[in-house]
Structure 1
Amino acid sequence: MKTFLSLLLAGLLAPLFLLNAQNKNIPLIYTININKEIDNAARIFLSKGLAEANQLNAQAVIIHMNTYGGLLEAADSMRTAILYSKVPVHVFIDNNAASAGALISIACKKIYMRKGANIGAATVVNQTGEALPDKYQSYMRSMIRSTAEAHGKDTIVQGNDTIYKWKRDPRIAEAMVDDRIAIPNLIDSGKVLTFTADEAVTWGYCDGIAESVDEVVTSYLGYKNYELKTYKPSFADKIKGFLMNPFIQSLLIMCIIGGIYFEMQSPGIGFPLAAAVTGAILYFAPLYIDGLAQNWEILVFVAGLILIAVELFIIPGFGVTGITGIVFIVGGLTLSLLNNTDFDFRGISGTDSGKAVLTVLMGIGGSFVLMIWLSNKIGEKGLLKNVALATDLEQSLSTPELNAFIGKTGKTTTVLRPSGKIEIDNAQFDAVSESGFIEKGTNVKVIRFENSQLYVEKLES
């Protein structure tokens, strides 16, 4: 009886074992969709997708591409990841592979295009579409040329002669960037090269024309029976990519600088400090997780904040300490955007450095505009009405009356950091410290009145 049951169970389970064995033998093709602007989010998606494909022992990765381009530094990281991927990476250009998309496509082992698709036009431009100076074009020319060269040459034997021919001619790749390059029978100088699908096949920049990823796999890769898996970005990856967008990074810098400024202008600890801390966390966290921001770069930023606090609260005036603090803050924010190792900047291009500096300067410039605007709006009607006292000292007390307070003594009712509130003759006034940080309940003396503001110094006990 036991023997019969064992044979029956084996018979029932055998198909399952056979099916599982067959599934293990089915080749896995992994696809990654890049159908948006090339930015840090696309870079993260590609990196995660390649890692997952390698972990799953995929036979090949196919990038399903349709993009007009994007950030050069993100494209540079993506083409490097493709060139060094353990799993062969191919690209299927669904419609467009322009600019940074062309660079990424040329890095792939094989390029397949849909009829009507285009590849090329890789000149480095700014956000208005104007070509950047030649130093940026020079770096892009070198990068796209070396990417084409990375695929090596084919050996062609013609009679007694052996000819070595580039699989992807670097000169053609360079012509996609530089309109000064002329290639006989292809393009005259004064034009930037862009290929149609048929032209790309003719000149070795397309390995086949297909209408779908399935056609690429079955007709060109030779897999009739295969499993297809597509990378699905996680919510955390999407948030991380969003926060690493240069525009969002500039907004976060605005929150950091503006929050610090308004916190110093208001008594106690409140919303401005919370905004600054939140902005700093959202700015540095994705950079730190991604390996761009190192510990020492964040410490440089924190040291800058400490130096400015020392200058404002301890040392009267504004001098070397404050200027050094500003340099440290700007340096920490900028260095965190660069993919350098310690103080080794040999792998950092001028384009990467320029964009990092521009991102930080845009944020700082925006924060100054925000500070001026909010300074004029605080206390008026609307959401900012209750942020400051509604009473105008110039309306409640005339200038001669306020001038009469010079020389009088009073007591701080809030911390002066450097601004806050004091009490003189049972009346509350806004005041600014001239002797650094002053604790609440400290005796002070009015030393001058300027721009409708009382300035005080700490009385020695």
Structure 2
Amino acid sequence: MSKHPLWSALLLLLLVSVSGAAFGAAPPVAVLTVDDAIGPATADYLVRGLDKAAQEQAQLVVIRMDTPGGLDSSMRAIIKAILASPVPVATFVTPGGARAASAGTYILYASHVAAMSPGTNLGAATPVQLGGVPGAPDKPAGDKPAKPDSKADDSNEATLTRKQVNDAAAYIRGLAQLRGRNAEWAERAVREAVSLPAEEALKQRVIDRVASDLPALLSQLDGQTLKTARGEVVLHTAGAPLVEHAPDWRARLLAVITNPSVALILMMIGIYGLIFEFANPGSAIGGVVGGICLILGLYALQLLPVSYAGMALVLLGLALMAAEAFMPSFGALGLGGVVAFVVGAVILIDTEVPGFGIPLPLIVGLALASAALIIGVVGVALRARRDAPVSGDAGLVGSLAAVAAVQADDPLGGWVQLQGERWQVRSSAPLWPGQRVRVVAREGLRLAVEAADNPAHTGE
């Protein structure tokens, strides 16, 4: 070996690479975390996280989950990304006490590996935005509608509810059949809103694994073969390096602004900022801040399940309050705007999913703040109406001034300095320089005046 140093070096490099591949050089495991309601921000974070894991050539993506559920549109975007992912996905409901309710159950069923920690649960997958309480008893057959049309309304509502429940049941049953899991229980989770703890879920083939923590789960998955969109993948997860992908600034910003309460506040700030800018042209800060906040608020609302009637009422209320600021109607427009805003904000979000409602105290607080602003505007308008005019023709009439000069050829005419301007004046009595006069009328570019006092003239 000493006679051929080049061959010795190559052989040593080969041995090191082989030993490295065999001992500890396994591809990494990407870890994503969901610990809140599933919404647009969660969908954006998970979809981009799966893409990044594929770029990093991760062998597995683990989604640590603890969620009460979320929006149907966001859930379906996540499931589409999981089904199309070339990297297998393991959804792990952890730690103890966590849950994968509603939308979380669908995501668990769609994953290549479904795992839970002891003390966790899943289920209750009935779409709550349908209205009513899952599992509530039906109306007794003897109950008759109070109005002739209510029977048809109830029938239409029941038909819509049945269609949506059937769609959700078929969706989760298809996911269960794709992953070889218990499809009957999955359908019960939708139709009857049932739930299961981790151990029972494993016995009934709802999930694949029960593990105390992430290292234990990776040890159980070591050597398992999973089928992905790219083909079969053999896992080597025992001792594999973990790569945590925390939400970046974009996901955090999206999570903040897609909170319905924050979106509503942003809209309010935007409207009042624009009102301030229009009332004080050139200030810039009101227009800049108001425009940014208004655009962010509208962008967030278009990502959420918004009621168009509620949105129209909110915009109408803001428009009426803005109109009150520019053409005071002594409260009529403003109070109408407050009422429209409150009603619109109450029905703005068209879902009962936890975490996506607007608290009533916040709505009342914003309405009271708007009412206080309107009262202030009306008060200023009333005070301005009582004050005497200080500009224009009305401000000129009654003003006092001293005669600056008298026409040489006409002692009834002269000039005065008034409101920063030099005016020609005309009087019914002779004028003299320094005399105090009062304006009685305006005649085009000339003012009619009279003596303000009658002291004895001590002229020549």
* Bin of the TM-score, shorter chain as denominator length: 0.5 to 0.7
* Unaligned runs of at least 5 residues, structure 2: 137-156, 224-235, 305-314, 328-340, 342-347, 397-417, 421-460
Of 99, 108, 113, which aligns to 1:110? 113
Q: 1:209 to 1:20 in 2, by over 3 A?
A: closer
Q: Contact 2:173/2:187 (CA < 8 Å) preserved in 1?
A: no
Which structure is larger by alpha-carbon Rg, 1 or 2?
Answer: 2
Of 188, 193, 201, which aligns to 1:175? 188
2:258 equivalent in structure 1:
244
Cα distance per residue 1:240-268 (max 9 Å; x no partner): 33222222222212222233334344455
Q: Contact 1:50/1:61 (CA < 8 Å) preserved in 2?
A: yes
2:374 equivalent in structure 1:
375
Residues in 1 aligned to 2:251 and 2:133: alpha-carbon distance in whole angstroms: 32
Cα deviation for residue 17 of structure 1 reads 4.3
- Match of 2:191, SS? coil
Cα deviation for residue 405 of structure 1 reads 9.6
2:167 equivalent in structure 1:
142
Cα deviation for residue 51 of structure 1 reads 0.7
Q: TM-score of the superposition, structure 2-length normalised?
A: 0.55
Cα deviation for residue 167 of structure 1 reads 3.3
Residues in 2 aligned to 1:4 and 1:286: alpha-carbon distance in whole angstroms: 69
Q: 1:48 to 1:216 in 2, by over 3 A?
A: same
Cα distance per residue 1:192-239 (max 9 Å; x no partner): 300112321233211122212222222234333433222222233312
1:54 equivalent in structure 2:
54
Cα deviation for residue 50 of structure 1 reads 0.5
* Unaligned runs of at least 5 residues, structure 1: 155-165, 180-191, 294-303, 317-329, 331-336, 339-349, 381-387, 411-424, 428-461
Q: Contact 2:176/2:186 (CA < 8 Å) preserved in 1?
A: no
Q: How does 1:26-425 map to 2 (within 5 A)?
A: 26-94=26-94, 95-125=98-128, 135=160, 138-139=163-164, 142-152=167-177, 167-169=181-183, 171-179=184-192, 192-222=193-223, 223=236, 224-266=238-280, 268-283=282-297, 370-377=369-376, 392-393=383-384, 397=387, 408=394
Cα distance per residue 1:5-26 (max 9 Å; x no partner): 7578668866664565557961
Residues in 1 aligned to 2:378 and 2:23: alpha-carbon distance in whole angstroms: 70
Cα deviation for residue 119 of structure 1 reads 0.5
Cα deviation for residue 142 of structure 1 reads 1.9
Residues in 1 aligned to 2:127 and 2:162: alpha-carbon distance in whole angstroms: 6
The alignment-based identity, stated in percent, is: 23
Q: 1:39 to 1:153 in 2, by over 3 A?
A: closer
Residues in 1 aligned to 2:294 and 2:110: alpha-carbon distance in whole angstroms: 36
Cα deviation for residue 118 of structure 1 reads 0.6
Q: 1:23 to 1:49 in 2, by over 3 A?
A: farther
Q: 2:43 is matched by which residue type in structure 1?
A: R
Q: 1:375 to 1:272 in 2, by over 3 A?
A: farther
- Match of 2:190, SS? coil
Cα distance per residue 1:406-457 (max 9 Å; x no partner): 98489xxxxxxxxxxxxxx849xxxxxxxxxxxxxxxxxxxxxxxxxxxxxx
Cα distance per residue 1:267-297 (max 9 Å; x no partner): 5544432331120343467899xxx79xxxx
Residues in 2 aligned to 1:137 and 1:119: alpha-carbon distance in whole angstroms: 23
Cα distance per residue 1:309-332 (max 9 Å; x no partner): xxx9xxx9xxxxxxxxxxxxx9xx
Aligned length: 325
Cα deviation for residue 125 of structure 1 reads 3.9
Residues in 2 aligned to 1:285 and 1:9: alpha-carbon distance in whole angstroms: 61
**Superposition RMSD on alpha carbons, in Å?**
5.2
- Match of 1:91, SS? strand
Q: 1:208 to 1:287 in 2, by over 3 A?
A: same
- Match of 2:205, SS? coil
- Match of 2:66, SS? strand
Cα distance per residue 1:102-138 (max 9 Å; x no partner): 2221221221122221101123447x99669864685
Q: 1:56 to 1:18 in 2, by over 3 A?
A: same
- Match of 1:214, SS? helix
Cα deviation for residue 151 of structure 1 reads 4.3
Q: TM-score of the superposition, structure 1-length normalised?
A: 0.55
- Match of 1:62, SS? strand
- Match of 1:229, SS? strand
1:422 equivalent in structure 2:
none
Residues in 2 aligned to 1:254 and 1:43: alpha-carbon distance in whole angstroms: 27
Cα deviation for residue 139 of structure 1 reads 3.0
Residue range with higher mean Cα deviation, 105-114 or 16-25: 16-25
Residues in 2 aligned to 1:278 and 1:82: alpha-carbon distance in whole angstroms: 34
